[in-house]
Amino acid sequence: MNALHDLPIVVIGAGPTGLAAAARLHEHGLPCTVLEAGDTPGAAVRQWGHVRVFSPWRYNIDPAARRLLDEAGWIAPDPEALPTGAELVDDYLRPLAQLPQLKPHVRYGARVEAISRLGLDRLRTAGRDTAPFLVRLADGDELVARAVIDASGTWSTPNVLGASGLRARGEADAAAYLEHALPDVLGADRGRFVGRHTLVVGAGHSAANTLLSLAELAAAEPGTEVTWAIRATAPTRTYGGGNADALPARGALGARLRAHVDAGRIRLLTGFSVQALTPTDGRVSVALRHGGGSVESITVDRVVGATGFRPDHSIAAELRLDLDPVLGATRALAPLIDPNEHSCGTVPPHGVDVLAHPEQGYYAVGMKSYGRAPTFLMATGYEQVRSVVAALAGDWAAARDVQLDLPETGVCSSDSAVSAGGDDCCEPQAAGRGLSTGISGGLLSAPISLIALDAAPAGGCCAS
């Protein structure tokens, strides 16, 4: 065995997909190092800990991780229950990361700054495939690796408010008035919203659930106002299919939101995009441009940007990546998940071949693998890393035997408080249309049976 194959495989991120990759690498006897920028496993998930994911536990636990946990006497949660982000960390990710098979290989506070090939920049070809990867951390430390599995996600790189993909004018100056997606409106962040006027920008389920939480807060706290601005001319996509929705809790989400809008508890502005933000006397003035060219200004106290997320490929700038120019996913994966063509239904099973780049040995998996596409399920990431690790172990038959068992449109949030996805899409599709996550193509023979959520505490979500 040559020296390259003796090196560890670096996994970036100790979230659900990253730790699943570590569990798979352990099963194959491949050395690995997991680099987590946060101080705990699932640090990004912890930031939306108040959110209840829409997929039940049985879709959220990686099989290899489950085997390791079961050997240690882990008491598994109810497979049909819907966990919050905090429960995902406390009841699954933390116990997994603490296992003696994984704990010595996980480094916290290890933020990756750049990845390259040792001694080679992107231009150099000779000897490239036999040169180890060089992984540089923000503190200056460097590691060499046989391969890199990038499961760093997209949580730290939300989309901007500007409609052109650029920051709206004054967006940086107004940062003190802006909220990251998924604020804990009814919990830890309540004080920032009570008695204030909040503008929510975005048409996905994260926006919808934040609006529901704000409407609940407004009912309890006089002086709390809510405005919702979307680029579409109607909120049809956000309202969803109602009683016809394959996932009843998601259908209830749209019905509840529509009721608040119809009753005037949420002011809806359609066909508008954010053009400029100007801090004014302790508040922020937001200029909204209508599709017809007219501009309306609204002055609010807080602005929630629920406009989705994008991947940050800057750490791999010296690697040879083949990225789709639209989504920033691999060129082979992009047509399967492009929201211009699909709603959140099913993505065909995919693994190492679809995720591969010209840079042999580098794979972006999990949420990051989807680029700017807004619909993703943890189970998809688990199958991705199963395939990738099998390939790294030399078992190409297993690597290419990719299978997915997903609930129909299972990425969207429940009717509780918030959605962990970005500006996600979930609308009914005509028969025969390819979908981006769900049961089309025989992935699941029957719709998933969901528990009732009417009595659930506030906090629902789009998974992972």
| pLDDT the model gives residue 420 | 37
DSSP state of 313: -
Do 176 and 390 form a contact (C-beta atoms < 8 A)?
A: no
Residue 60: other Cβ atoms inside 10 A: 22
Q: Is 304 exposed, middle or buried (0-12, 13-18, 19+ CB in 10 A)?
A: buried
Taking the C-alpha atoms of residue 256 and residue 268, their distance in angstroms, rounded to an integer, is 14
pTM, 2 dp = 0.85
| pLDDT the model gives residue 406 | 62
CA of residue 122 relative to chain centroid, distance: 29
| pLDDT the model gives residue 432 | 29
Taking the C-alpha atoms of residue 54 and residue 410, their distance in angstroms, rounded to an integer, is 7
Which tokens belong to 107? 């480094």
DSSP state of 369: G
Provide DSSP, 172-210. TTTGGGEE-SS--TTTTTGGGTTTSEEEEE--SHHHHHH
Taking the C-alpha atoms of residue 173 and residue 462, their distance in angstroms, rounded to an integer, is 30
Residues 267-299 as b/e (b if ≥16 CB within 10 A, e otherwise) read ebeebbbbbbbeeeeeebbbbbbeeeeeeeebe
List per-residue pLDDT tens for the chain, 464 residues long. Answer: 458 889 999 999 999 999 999 999 999 999 999 999 999 999 999 999 998 887 889 989 999 999 999 999 999 999 989 899 999 999 999 999 999 999 999 999 999 999 999 999 999 999 999 999 999 999 999 999 999 999 999 999 999 999 889 999 999 999 999 999 999 999 999 999 999 999 999 988 789 889 999 999 999 999 999 999 999 899 887 887 666 555 555 667 788 999 999 999 999 999 999 999 999 999 999 999 998 788 999 999 999 999 989 999 999 999 999 999 999 999 999 999 888 776 545 567 899 999 999 999 999 999 999 999 887 889 999 999 999 999 999 999 999 999 876 655 433 333 333 333 333 333 333 322 333 333 222 222 223 333 333 333 333 333 33
* 3-class secondary-structure state, position 99: coil
The sheet with strand 267-269 has its strands ordered as: 178-179, 302-305, 197-201, 225-229, 267-269
| pLDDT the model gives residue 464 | 33
Taking the C-alpha atoms of residue 310 and residue 381, their distance in angstroms, rounded to an integer, is 17
Q: Which residues pair with 346 in a beta bridge?
A: 437
DSSP state of 91: I
Q: Going from the N-terminus, what domains does the chain have, and what CATH number goes with each?
A: 3-156+309-400 (3.50.50.60), 175-305 (3.50.50.60)
Residue 17: other Cβ atoms inside 10 A: 29
Residue 38: other Cβ atoms inside 10 A: 18
| pLDDT the model gives residue 143 | 97
